[in-house]
């Protein structure tokens, strides 16, 4: 039995080779810790969207983009495949925000480009 080749493809178990095996969307990722690797590996998935929305930097970015008053009325619910669902309790505000969707989307992408939001959906 050859212990120098533990991987099925025959590569050796060196630190440099193991790092090269981590890929995300075709690009090489060199994780320094699990906390660094997870957001990159989960980007574009429902769980990755939840992690991005829980980040305090995201909430701060939304407040800068939309203003504190509007951000206080909105709750970021989910982010999946570029679609950001925003919970707005008042029907009148959902109606108003529907008209301002393009402007809000542009402001949000200027403040938080890493989120990759392509569309907004306002839900009750």
55 phi, psi to nearest 5 deg: -70, 125
Of 65, 69, 47, the residue nearest 120 (C-alpha): 65
* Spatial separation of the C-alpha atoms in residues 42 and 38, rounded to whole Å: 6
Check whether 41 has a pLDDT greater than 70.
no
Q: What is the pLDDT of residue 88?
A: 93
The neighbouring-strand residues paired with 83 are 80, 119
Kindly provide the b/e burial profile for residues 37-62, where b requires at least 16 CB atoms within 10 angstroms of the residue's own CB: eeeebbbeeeebbebbbeeeebeebb
List of domains in the chain: 13-42 (no CATH), 46-123 (3.30.300)
**Digit-coded pLDDT (tens) for 56-79:** 788 888 899 988 888 888 888 888
Q: 9 pLDDT exceeds 90?
A: no
pLDDT in tens, 91-120: 999 999 999 999 999 999 998 888 888 999
């Amino acid at each position: 039995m050859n212990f120098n080749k533990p991987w099925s493809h025959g590569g050796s178990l060196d630190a440099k080779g193991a790092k090269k095996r981590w890929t995300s969307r075709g690009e090489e990722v060199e994780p320094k810790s699990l906390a660094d690797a997870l957001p990159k590996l989960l980007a574009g998935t429902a769980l990755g969207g939840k992690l991005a929305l829980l980040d305090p930097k995201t909430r701060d970015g939304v407040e800068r983009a939309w203003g504190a008053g509007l951000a206080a009325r909105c709750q970021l619910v989910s982010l999946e495949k570029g679609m950001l669902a925003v919970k707005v309790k008042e029907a009148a505000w959902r109606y108003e925000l529907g008209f301002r969707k393009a402007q809000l989307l542009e402001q949000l992408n200027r403040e938080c480009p890493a989120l990759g939001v392509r569309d907004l959906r306002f839900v009750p």
